[in-house]
Amino acid sequence: MAIYIDKESKTFYLEGENSTYSFFINSFGYPEHLYWGKKIHRDYLLMARSGGARSCEAKVPGTNEGGSTYNHMLPEISYFGTGDYREPTVHPVFEDGSRVTELLYSGYDILPEKPRISSMPSMSGGETLVIYLYDTIRDFGAELYYTAYPDSDVISRRIIYKNESNKKIKLDRAYSFALALPKGDYDALTLFGGWANERNPERTPLHHGVFSIDSKRATSSATLNPFMAVMERGASEDRGNVYGFNLIYSSSYALKAEGASGGHFVVSGGINDFDFSWLLSPGESFETPEAVLSFSAEGLGGMSRSFHRAYREHLINKRYVKALRPVLINNWEATYFEFTFEKLAAIVDSIEGTGIDTFVLDDGWFGKRDDDNSGLGDWVVNEAKLSGGLDRLIDYVHSKGLKFGLWFEPEMISEDSDIFRAHPDYAIGIPDRPRCYSRNQYAMDLTREDVRDYIVDSINAILKKHDIDYVKWDYNRNVTEFFSEGRDPDRQLEFSHRYALGLYDICDRIVLANPDIFFEGCSGGGARFDPAILYYFPQIWTSDDSDAEERTHIQWGTSYAYPLSAMACHVSAVPNHQVRRVTPMRTRADIAHLGATGYELDTTVFTDKDRDEVKRQVAEYHKMEDLVLDGDLYRIEDPTKTNFFSFAIVSPDKSRAHLTCYRSKGQPNPEPHIVKMAGLDENKLYFIPELNLMLHGSTLMNVGFAVNFNKGDFMTRTFNFEEK
């Protein structure tokens, strides 16, 4: 069991493996947050309330009790106009123009089965508590959903807003959650970036007023990932209280942490309310996306491991989450758009015997697509380019014992395409305004059912006709214009959320409808790396920047919220195509092995020695693959702050571990570089073949050992730990 109730004090306790989350229903019927942190006993907690109305604070409507202002109650939800001046969780506009609501307790339910959100991805399993709140004056309701997991320290939250009146209600804001953190000094850790430079960590002190991150792009974006950690000022990688927030959402979002006048901090978020409103007709409900909340008393590392475990157990497709991943060769950086059957067949021949098991044909196989100016949306094989069509190539690939993968960019349309000539309105745009190009293409209007049907039918036709084992789903531009031709003017502000719903609909009908095909997410690199995408796609292309040095930063940042198994990482050519850097082949492989690995370079120029090296690398990867898929990650050396990077991955039973260490710049006269392992069992004895030593976990973690790198820049060393 994960949910307990003290009926007398109306206190709810949500218990994770090592954490407790608690709130109670106060005498006004308002759900008041009490505690979220390290696991505690189910004691009476009301003595910890601060409360206290001051001058200039309004009392709860209709009362004149001392100490009764909403502005000082710690919220589970907050709303505007009744004395609460903090960021509202919801902002309804009623038909008479008034915007005031007071949502008060009307009951609760505990659901043994977690209901699936009808139109959006969400976590599964756990035990779900629903708190029913109701505004009896406006017949407006809010249902607060909390799912607790006894085996982990995450809680998922969302809210359903209900119009039970006989008039229209417009939601100008409809966030998924709010909660309070007690008075203290906190920093926010967020992940910013851009193309080929995704998910850089940034630590910002929180302050009075609002700290916020968001996306206005109708995608979760590379600019700011929909993730925020709020950390106690002294918290670090392995110490201190850290609260993590991650939205299972792929469109415009907001996450906020507000330092309130009472000293506490209110964290809230969900769908971005900028350029948003949603019209609820009588009887209609609005479901918000789910937010995943993770607590750890063991610093950022503990928070990340909680997210990773929860996503593996309760979010990612069970069929694939722990299944061995394709070790693939992708032709993109080998050929770009210039390929023939013969060239692709030569790539296939050149990897024979290496252990690479999947060949992926990237962009350029369809329509008129010899560069990125044309062809998107015409999902018809270009037989003039690929003589013999797809089947000839697929048969060839299969005859060599490899699986076959194919690239699509389902959401896009080129101006120079047959589909655009026939249906220019399929592209998002405003009829009397020019559209913005981005990568020479437009985005399709996924808010429209006929457009979605076209995408689903044309892609499923290819998947049905050909024997395809793997699909790479790309997405190379963000939405502009935010308008859907034909939709009512008073519903145009629903566009960005409807885009997400449209995306999930086509994912349901393409990804989930083809369960035997392995789907990888991609977004011009890693520009849509979020838990909703992870629900459909067990792995996501992490970045178009595959340079090993850059990847230590990108993979480090990505790992704050997402497990290693979610990150697709390739060994590519040198000089690297994005940064022209030359790094050793071994280094490129060691860094790419910290995720779902693959190769993306012209293997037809390989010497026998290169082929032997790849064979060795693939064999090595297979030895550690179970750790990548299911191990606990310990980040040891931070490349964003030091000359080093190291990741340790430890099996759940702590009987095995793998350590990858990397030194960026070579040092002329290096001091001994001691690395202390993490995550091992102190009392277990481990054999480390690379050191030819048998040492206890306690020694490895407290004394450490010297890691000697070869001379030069960008060097790696790897170590294995086996319990004896």
Would you name the residues annotated as active-site residues?
Answer: 474, 544
User: Between residues 362 and 549, which has the closer beta carbon with respect to ligand DGJ?
Assistant: 362
For residue 415, the SS3 value is: coil
- Residues 317-356 binding ligand DGJ (CB under 6 A) are 332
In the complex, minimum distance from the CB of residue 361 to ligand DGJ, in angstroms, rounded to a whole number: 10
Binding flag, residue 363, ligand DGJ (CB under 6 A): yes
Check: CB of residue 650 under 8 Å from CB of residue 679: yes
- Is 470 among the residues that bind ligand DGJ (CB under 6 A)? no
Backbone dihedral region for residue 690 (phi beyond 0: left; psi -120 to 50: alpha; all else: beta): alpha
The residue among 544 and 632 lying less far from ligand DGJ, judged by its C-beta, is 544
The nearer residue to ligand DGJ, 194 or 515, going by C-beta atoms, is 194
Rounded CA gap, 327 and 349, in Å?
16
* CA gap 52, 35 in Å, rounded: 18
Report in angstroms how near the CB of residue 316 gets to ligand DGJ at its nearest: 21
What DSSP string runs through 600-656?
Answer: ES-GGG--HHHHHHHHHHHHHHHHHHHHHHHPEEEEEE-TTTSSEEEEEEE-TTSSE
Judged by CB under 6 A, the number of residues near ligand DGJ is 11
541 touches ligand DGJ by CB under 6 A: yes
Contact flag: residue 544 with ligand DGJ (CB under 6 A): yes
Binding segment for ligand DGJ (CB under 6 A), chosen from 90-98, 210-218, 517-525, 668-676, is 517-525
522 binds ligand DGJ (CB under 6 A): yes
Using CB under 6 A, which residues numbered 239 to 298 contact ligand DGJ?
none
Buried b (16+ CB within 10 A) or exposed e, 635-663: bbbebeeeebbbbbbbbeebebbbbbbbb
Choice between 577 and 616, CB closer to ligand DGJ: 577
Least Å from the CB of residue 388 to ligand DGJ: 23
Q: Which is nearer to ligand DGJ, 88 or 598 (CB)?
A: 598
C-beta closer to ligand DGJ: residue 332 or 686: 332
CB of 570 to ligand DGJ, least distance (A): 9
Beta-bridge mates of residue 169: 94, 280
Q: How far apart are CA 479 and CA 497, in angstroms?
A: 12
DSSP letter string over 268-292? Answer: EEEE--TT--EEE-TT-EEEPPPEE
Note whether 666 and 712 are within 8 A (CB).
Answer: yes
Task: Answer yes or no whether residue 407 interacts with ligand DGJ by CB under 6 A.
Answer: yes
Task: For 599, list phi and psi in degrees, rounded to 5.
Answer: -130, 145
Candidates 57-65, 479-487, 520-528, 571-579: pick the segment binding ligand DGJ (CB under 6 A).
520-528
Shortest distance, CB of residue 472 to ligand DGJ, whole angstroms? Answer: 6
Count of all residues that appear for the chain in the document: 724
* Residue with Cβ nearer ligand DGJ (2 or 527): 527
Q: Given candidates 232, 362, 378, 620, which one binds ligand DGJ under the rule CB under 6 A?
A: 362
**Between 447 and 476, whose beta carbon lies closer to ligand DGJ?**
476
474 binds ligand DGJ (CB under 6 A): yes
What span, in angstroms and rounded, lies between the C-alpha atoms of 634 and 594? Answer: 12
Stretch that binds ligand DGJ, among 25-33, 351-359, 478-486, 519-527 (CB under 6 A): 519-527
What DSSP state is assigned to residue 153? S
Minimum distance from CB of 410 to ligand DGJ (Å)?
A: 13
Kindly state the smallest distance separating residue 163's Cβ from ligand DGJ, in Å: 42
* One residue of 212, 476, 478, 651 binding ligand DGJ per CB under 6 A: 476
Residues 578, 192: Cα–Cα separation, whole Å? 19
CA distances from 399 to 115, 324, 334, 396, 563 (A): 45, 21, 22, 5, 34
Beta bridge partners of 548: none
Which lies closer to ligand DGJ via its Cβ, residue 258 or residue 544? 544
**Which of 10-18, 87-95, 252-260, 522-530 is the region at the interface with ligand DGJ (rule: CB under 6 A)?**
522-530
Residue 26 sits in the site that holds ligand DGJ (CB under 6 A): no
- The pattern of x and - marking residues 657 through 686 that bind ligand DGJ according to CB under 6 A reads ------------------------------
Q: What's the min distance (Å) between Cβ of 652 and ligand DGJ? A: 32
> SS3 of 572, please?
strand
Q: Is 88 in the site for ligand DGJ (CB under 6 A)?
A: no
Work out how close the CB of 133 gets to ligand DGJ at its nearest, in angstroms, rounded to a whole number.
Answer: 44
Residue with nearest beta carbon to ligand DGJ? 363
Q: How far is the CB of 194 from ligand DGJ (least distance, A)?
A: 14
Q: Is 524 in the site for ligand DGJ (CB under 6 A)?
A: yes
Structure token pair of residue 52: 């206290």
**What's the CA gap between 225 and 105, in Å, rounded?**
34
Tell me how crowded residue 437 is: count the other CB atoms within 10 A of its CB: 13
Interatomic CA distance for residues 256 and 269, integer angstroms: 6
If we measure between CA atoms, which residue out of 267, 274, 268 comes closest to residue 251? 274
Identified binder of ligand DGJ from the candidate list 262, 326, 502, 525, rule CB under 6 A:
525
Kindly tell me which of 563 and 598 has the beta carbon lying closer to ligand DGJ.
598
Which of 457-465, 521-529, 691-699, 709-717 is the region at the interface with ligand DGJ (rule: CB under 6 A)? 521-529
Smallest Cα–Cα separation from 382: which of 371, 369, 394? 369
Q: In the complex, what is the shortest distance from the CB of residue 383 to ligand DGJ, in angstroms, rounded to a whole number? A: 20
Neighbours of 622 (CB within 10 A): 14
Identity of the residue, 232 or 544, whose beta carbon is nearer to ligand DGJ in the bound complex: 544
What span, in angstroms and rounded, lies between the C-alpha atoms of 536 and 250?
12
The structure tokens listed for 38 are: 């390290």
Q: Which residues of the shown chain bind ligand DGJ in the complex (CB under 6 A)?
A: 332, 362-363, 407, 474, 476, 522, 524-525, 541, 544
